[in-house]
Amino acid sequence: MADVRGVADVPAVPSGWVPAACTLPTAEQPARLAEFDRLLGTAVRSVRRVEPDRLRLELTPTPQVASRVADLMMRESGCCSFFTFRLDVAGGRLCWDVGVPAGQVAVLDALAARVGPDGGHRA
């Protein structure tokens, strides 16, 4: 589904968020960031760093959220192949693990920084 947004609605891409290894065209990066922000702002219940190179985000456990995350994971894997993603559904919980190699920890730090300590999004 295409996202139609005005240029003023799309945030600037912060430093450290997009690594040189990313193949997503520069013009599309702000829209992808906005998509991450919408997901983080509406679906994340909590976030924790389970390893230096891996985050676990507990999400609102609905089929719609699982679908949005799966779609984003597939597209993000296409441009940033260094990411490892895992989506688990168990015991009424929906958890999204995001991992990176040691050389890409700054990207994971940038993602974690976009989520507040209580799981809510912060710009």
Residues of the chain above pLDDT 90, percent: 46
- For the chain, the average pLDDT equals 81
Give, in degrees to the nearest 5, the angle at Cα 38 between 36 and 42: 120
For residue 95, give the H/E element and its range: strand 93-99
* Higher pLDDT, residue 117 or 110: 110
pLDDT tens string 30-53: 888 888 889 988 999 999 999 999
pLDDT tier, 29 (very low <50, low <70, confident <90, very high otherwise)? confident
The yes-or-no verdict on residue 7 having pLDDT over 80 is no
Tokens standing for 86?
């895992």
The residue with tokens 């985000």 is 57
Q: What is the pLDDT of residues 51-81, one digit of tens each?
A: 999 999 999 999 999 999 999 999 999 888 8
- Cα dihedral sign, 119-53-38-65: negative
